């Protein structure tokens, strides 16, 4: 039996698609951070340049490292897949965030679909403000970036 060359090509295409997705998400976070830095520099006279550090991590295949580095406060995993493996990817994201003691964020998409973000959110009991519970929630990328911009603004103006 001879080896069919299709599986290696498929893996190569899958890796290229994953790398492209990681670059896309890195660019989106970098742009969000640069926008906040520009606003803070203008209004507070503070120069913050964390956005210069946003990049894909150099990691060997099948390593257990997070996908993006240089994004403060959060640990980001990026997945562009067709299979419905979001729960497995979320578990991987949780492990990475725990190791780095950061907030877990999974950015994922399927072909011809918009980016989605899975992370934790909190719900409070309206009648008892001290009662709060963490739950897993999925957002569209723009919603999440608005939230992250506020987190980042607070971080660099402390």
When pLDDT is averaged across residues 123-146 and rounded to a whole number, the result is 84
Are 73 and 61 in contact by the 8 Å Cβ rule? The answer is: no
With cut-offs at 50, 70 and 90, classify the pLDDT of residue 27: very high
Lowest-pLDDT choice from 44-53, 96-105, 132-141, 144-153: 44-53
CA–CA gap between residue 96 and residue 93 (Å, rounded): 5
Q: Decide: helix, strand or coil at residue 43.
A: helix
* Residue 60 pLDDT: 47
Six token digits for residue 44: 């507070």
Of the candidate ranges 15-24, 123-132, 146-155, the one whose mean pLDDT is the lowest: 123-132
CA dist 118 → 10, 67, 136, 142, 143 (Å): 27, 15, 7, 13, 11
Per-position DSSP letters for 93-109, written without gaps between them: HHHHHHHHTSEEEEEEE
Please tell me the predicted confidence (pLDDT) of residue 62. 47
Fold adopted by 6-157: Trna Endonuclease; Chain: A, domain 1 (3.40.1350)
Question: Rounded to whole angstroms, what are the CA distances from 9 to 14, 35, 112, 132?
Answer: 8, 39, 22, 48
**Domain boundaries along the sequence of the chain:** 6-157
Mean pLDDT over 51-71 rounds to: 74
């Amino acid at each position: 039996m001879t080896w069919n060359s299709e599986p290696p090509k498929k893996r190569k295409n899958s890796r290229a698609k994953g790398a492209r997705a990681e670059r896309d998400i890195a660019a989106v976070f970098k742009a969000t951070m640069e926008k906040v830095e520009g606003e803070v520099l203008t209004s507070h006279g503070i120069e913050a340049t964390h956005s210069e550090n946003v990049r894909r991590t150099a990691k060997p295949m099948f390593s257990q490292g997070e996908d993006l580095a240089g994004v403060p406060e959060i640990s980001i995993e990026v997945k562009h897949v067709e299979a419905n493996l979001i729960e497995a990817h979320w578990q991987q994201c949780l492990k990475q965030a725990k190791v780095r003691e950061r907030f877990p964020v999974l950015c994922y998409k399927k072909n011809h679909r918009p980016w989605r973000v899975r992370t934790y959110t909190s719900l409070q009991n309206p009648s008892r403000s001290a009662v709060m519970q963490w739950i897993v929630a999925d957002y569209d990328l723009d919603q999440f970036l608005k939230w992250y911009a506020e987190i980042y603004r607070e971080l660099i103006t402390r």
